[in-house]
Amino acid sequence: MTANANGFETATAHHAWDRRWSTTEGRAEWLEPEEDLRLLLPELRARGCRDALDLGCGVGRHALFLAEAGFAVEAIDGSPKGLTFAQAAAAERGLAVPFRAGLMTDLPVPSCAFDFVVAWNVIYHGASDVVERTIGEIFRVLRPGGLYLGTMLTKRNVNFGRGREVGRGTFVIDGDNDKGHPHFYCDAGELAALFAEFEVLSLKQVEHRRPGSWHWHLLAEKVSVA
Ligand SMILES: C[S@@+](CC[C@H](N)C(=O)[O-])C[C@H]1O[C@@H](n2cnc3c(N)ncnc32)[C@H](O)[C@@H]1O
């Protein structure tokens, strides 16, 4: 495993995603926004959220959705191919979204810049140090009272415990297209500890497209300090 520029050896998933984003088949399942985000829109509006970050934006489905809904959106990903595709999709729709290259462990944005961060199926790509650092970055870039919507992998997931353990709760399945890079799995207690600085507003386990592909869906708030 090669080390990344910022020294996190297990934060390598964006290279695999870069290969995937270069094909029509690879992108096909990642073009429509998730239901959780659609359903959150009224709450975001009610709270007066304006500035949003799509972290690990892939080919841009959530950034484009939020921009179309009137938010000022920025989007960051480590995959150049994903960013190119997303930028073209934004231009086609007449949307001005800055899609920028960056790593989730070192977000190239100032502190307290966003009212909302979405990171769908992103931040569990790496060992616990990567996940902890990324959650710290999300906390840093959110304004007090800001919301975070994201997913984690649960230990109910069929791939938990499969392959090589490269860190606590972190597995690589060698030769597997999708799980050939590190994935971190956690139970509810571990998740609560990771997000201890946030107030968890909702948490549920949801099976994604593949049978046994269980994920946590988390909505959390960076609580304002009085
Ligand atoms: C499963 S895809 C999800 C894409 C998008 N969030 C969506 O729901 O359509 C994961 C994305 O996270 C990005 N990613 C993975 N590790 C990363 C890292 N360390 N820094 C930045 N982006 C990363 C990948 O390049 C990929 O685009």
Chain segment 117-127, per-residue pLDDT in tens = 999 999 999 99
Question: For ligand 1, is residue 215 a contact (CB within 6 Å)?
Answer: no
Domain count for the chain, please give it: 1
The torsion angle over the Cα atoms of residues 163, 165, 169 and 170, rounded to 10 degrees, is -80
Out of 14, 53, 177, 178, mutate this one to test ligand 1's pocket (max ligand atoms within 8 Å of CB): namely 14
CATH at residue 62: 3.40.50.150
Does residue 1 fall inside a structural domain?
A: no
In a domain, 99, yes or no: yes
Of 154 and 1, which is predicted with more confidence? 154
The mean per-residue pLDDT over the stretch 116-143 comes to 98
Residue nearest to atom 26 of ligand 1 (CA): 58
Residue 102 in this model has a pLDDT that exceeds 60: yes
11 domain residue, yes or no: no
What residue owns the CA closest to ligand 1's atom 8?
A: 120
Residue with the larger pLDDT of the pair 10 and 34: 34
**What is the model's pLDDT at position 2?**
46
Rg for the chain (alpha carbons), in Å?
16
Top mutation candidate among 77, 152, 172 for ligand 1, by most atoms within 8 Å of CB: 77
Flag whether 12 is in a domain: no
Question: Residue 5: is its pLDDT beyond 70?
Answer: no
Q: With respect to residue 17, please indicate whether it lies within any of the assigned structural domains.
A: no
14 lies in a domain? no
As a whole number of angstroms, the distance between CA 44 and CA 46 comes to 6
Please name the residue whose Cα sits nearest to atom 13 of ligand 1: 56
85's CB contacts (< 8 A; 6+ apart) are 21, 27, 59, 60
Q: How many CB atoms lie within 10 A of CB 225?
A: 5
Inside any domain, residue 23: no
Please give the residue range of the domain that contains residue 111.
32-222
Task: Report H helices in the chain.
Answer: 13-21, 24-28, 35-46, 61-68, 80-92, 128-141, 188-194
CA distance 135 to 38: 23
- For the cut 80, the answer to whether the pLDDT of residue 200 exceeds it is yes
Q: Which residues, including other chains, have CB under 8 Å from residue 192's CB and lie 6 or more apart?
A: 200
Residue 73: both structure tokens together: 């959106």
User: Does a structural domain hold residue 22?
Assistant: no
- Closest atom of ligand 1 to 61 CA is 9
CA-nearest residue for atom 12, ligand 1, is 56
Give the separation between CA 113 and CA 138, rounded to whole angstroms: 10
